[in-house]
């Protein structure tokens, strides 16, 4: 079990941050959560929400925030990435430009021209984060929620040779969808994800 110092990079993503903070609160143990985002305004909103959540539950969680990951990474036990490069406008372009040429995709996260464009935008940033992890907290557990998840993990493993684990909420969500479609209880379903 890793220690209790967790760095959340991309914490300005309020949806992911809210859900992860709720998980840490539900865990009930003492945590030091260090929130990082390059967008100061988004970070302050996410921090304010996290602070309210922690206080509402009287959770034993200490919160810190910074726009500089180099301030938050030293001695971290866990690093979680939930960032995107380019934001919503870039994501919309990933879908709209291929659509103009007859290539339709629902989200353009991982494959197709949109996924390729997203890879080109985010992989350099993720490599830089991996380099900082090697420098400041080489023994930290590195968890990546960013898309395209498999391409990012492969690039970090190839370029920096540090362990990184890709996580995706798509499998359980797909299981719920298929269970609903089949009119069965999702708890009666089994699946294997690799």
pLDDT tens digits for range 138-153: 999 999 999 899 999 9
State residue 190's pLDDT score. 85
Residue 21 has pLDDT above 90, yes or no: yes
| pLDDT above 90 coverage of the chain, percent | 71
Query: What number is the average pLDDT over the span 18-31?
Result: 94
The overall average pLDDT reported for the chain is 92
Query: What number is the average pLDDT over the span 104-117?
Result: 81
Query: Exposed/middle/buried for 35, CB within 10 Å: 0-12, 13-18, 19+?
Result: buried
pLDDT band with cut points at 50, 70 and 90 for residue 108: low
Structure tokens at 83: 């960032």
Q: What pTM value is reported for the model?
A: 0.88
């Amino acid at each position: 079990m890793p220690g209790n110092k967790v760095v959340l990079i991309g914490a300005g993503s309020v949806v992911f941050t809210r859900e992860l903070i709720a998980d840490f609160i539900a865990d009930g143990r003492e945590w030091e959560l260090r929130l990082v985002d390059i967008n100061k305004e988004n970070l302050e909103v996410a921090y304010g929400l996290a602070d309210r959540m922690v206080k509402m539950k009287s959770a034993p969680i200490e919160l810190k925030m910074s726009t500089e990951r180099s301030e938050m990474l030293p001695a971290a036990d866990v690093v979680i990435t939930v960032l995107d490069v380019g934001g919503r406008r870039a994501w919309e372009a990933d879908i709209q430009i291929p659509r103009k040429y007859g290539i339709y995709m629902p989200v353009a996260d991982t494959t197709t021209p949109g996924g390729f464009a997203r890879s080109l935008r985010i992989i350099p940033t993720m490599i830089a984060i991996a380099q900082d992890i090697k420098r400041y907290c080489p023994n930290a557990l590195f968890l990546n929620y960013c898309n395209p998840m498999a391409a990012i993990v492969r690039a970090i493993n190839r370029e920096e040779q540090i362990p990184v684990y890709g996580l995706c909420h798509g499998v359980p969500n797909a299981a719920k969808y298929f269970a609903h479609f089949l009119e069965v209880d999702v708890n009666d379903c089994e699946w294997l994800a690799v």
